[in-house]
Every structure is written in C-alpha cells, then in structure tokens.
Amino acid sequence: MKNRICKIISVVSVAPLIALYVLTAIYLHDKSIFGGTLWYVISIVFLTILPISAYILEHVLPAYKGQGRKGERRLAFVMCIVGYVLGTVVSLIFKAPQGVKLLFISYLVSGGLLALINSVIKYKASGHACGVAGPCVALIYFLGIKTWYVILLLIPVFWARISMGRHTFKELISGAAVGMAGTALTILIFMHL
C-alpha cells in the first residue's frame, strides 16, 4: 500500500502536471495575467503537453527505446527543456503578457540551472523537487502570500521520492533550492523591468 501511495504522489507531482495545476490556478484567479485564454493554452502546450510527450516518444524513438527508466528520465528532461526554450522564444517573439513571459523564463532559468548542476557539476539535484518548488514560488507570487502553504506540497513529494529510493534528502533539498532560486531570481528581475 505504501509503495502504491508513493507512486501515485510521484506521478501526480511530475513537473508537467504541476505546471498544469499552477497555470490553471493562476488562470482561474486572474485571466488577465494570460491576457485571455490563448496564452493559457499556449502555456499548457509548452509546459505540460510537450514535456509529457516524452513518455510516449520514449517508446518510439530508437535512441531511447528499451532503455527503461533511465532513458525515460533523460528524455523527459530533454523534452522539458525543449518546451521551456520554445515557450520562452514564442512568448518573446509574439509579445506575450508579462506574466506569461515571467512563467516561461522562470521555467527556463530553473531548468537551465538544474541541467548545469546535473551535467556540468555532476551533482544529482532532483528535477522532481525543482519542478514542484519553483512553480509553488510562482503561484505564491501570482496569488499572494496567503497561498504560502502550497510549499508544503514538498513534504509528500520528499517522502514519496525517498521511500521509493529515487532520491536522497540532499538531492531533494538541492533540487527544491534550484527551483525556488531560479523562480525567485526571475521574479526579482521582472519586478525591476
């Protein structure tokens, strides 16, 4: 039973689904942040649908076929970064509302920092924790400090990932710190533009 609960928590808290929840909460709170429905849908395409496509593409692309969990994780990370880069480019070229640009750039900064730490420094910071913590900071920014409690979502995520043996506490803390720092940095820069 414990393993099943851990798996459910891990699945519902993957970065693309967290993005969907956060985008929807912001949209329902204040549609003007997206300038209407179009940028909300575009945001879902780049932050949710494109990244989630990795779980389908993993069975189709020869380079990832048969690699199991390791290949799936690698492709998921690649597709997230592709979504973040393309979303940021599209939001800048087509002059998206400021809030949309902020969201895309915060995902790009956090994802870029995570890639740097994991690839260059060779330290395994948790992408899972990063994908929960950063969006929680964005949600608090857009919905107000009264929603501080969303950061508590990290507790079941940490518990599930540690229980499943997917991450150590240090890896989770560092991943969460990257997500929070990347998002907070982006917000600070946008506040001074």
Whether residue 70 is predicted with pLDDT greater than 80 in this model: the reply is no
Average pLDDT over the chain, rounded to whole?
Answer: 93
Backbone torsions φ then ψ of 13, nearest 5 degrees: -110, 20
Nearest-angstrom CA–CA distance, 72 and 85 = 20
User: What pLDDT shows up at residue 62?
Assistant: 67
pTM, two decimals, is: 0.93
pLDDT (average), residues 142-171: 96
| 185 torsion bin: left (phi>0), alpha (psi -120 to 50), beta (else) | alpha
Tokens 């969990």 belong to residue: 69
Cα 46 from chain centroid?
11
pLDDT tens, position by position, 9-27: 999 999 999 999 999 999 9
Whether residue 176 is predicted with pLDDT greater than 80 in this model: the reply is yes
pLDDT tens, position by position, 92-124: 999 999 999 999 999 999 999 999 998 888 888
Whether residue 191 is predicted with pLDDT greater than 90 in this model: the reply is no
pLDDT (average), residues 120-129: 91
CB 162 within 8 A of CB 168: yes
